[in-house]
Amino acid sequence: DLHSFPTRRSSDLDLEYVGDLTITAYCCEKYPHICGGGNTASGYPPIPYLTCSVGDTKKIPFGTVLYIEGVGIRVAQDTGAFDGSKIDVAVKTHEEATKWKTGKHKVWIIKGD
């Protein structure tokens, strides 16, 4: 059950609470528009439902694996024009991104042993 995701060390994972951050969405469609397109700031193409864009790569470096409550697991691969209080998650279509319900979610960094 994702709602009871551990907040302390388990046998395989160490979780670091980042905070309650605003989660928004952008699309991975290949044609140019306001939402996305092209490679991420880390040089890789965005992957829908995996890639996310962070505002502060000193706090959340590229390659960091995150658990976002109510959203799931994402990997920081991009950076956007926003501060460290937001994360932008990649979704498949522009339509899906425009229908995304922006809101605050608890975010943890997942650290493996």
Element (H, E) at 13: strand 13-27
Q: What is the pTM of this model?
A: 0.82
Q: How much is the pLDDT for 81?
A: 66
Q: How much is the pLDDT for 6?
A: 54
Residues of the chain where predicted confidence (pLDDT) is lower than 50:
1-2
Task: Give Cα 107 to chain centroid, integer Å.
Answer: 9
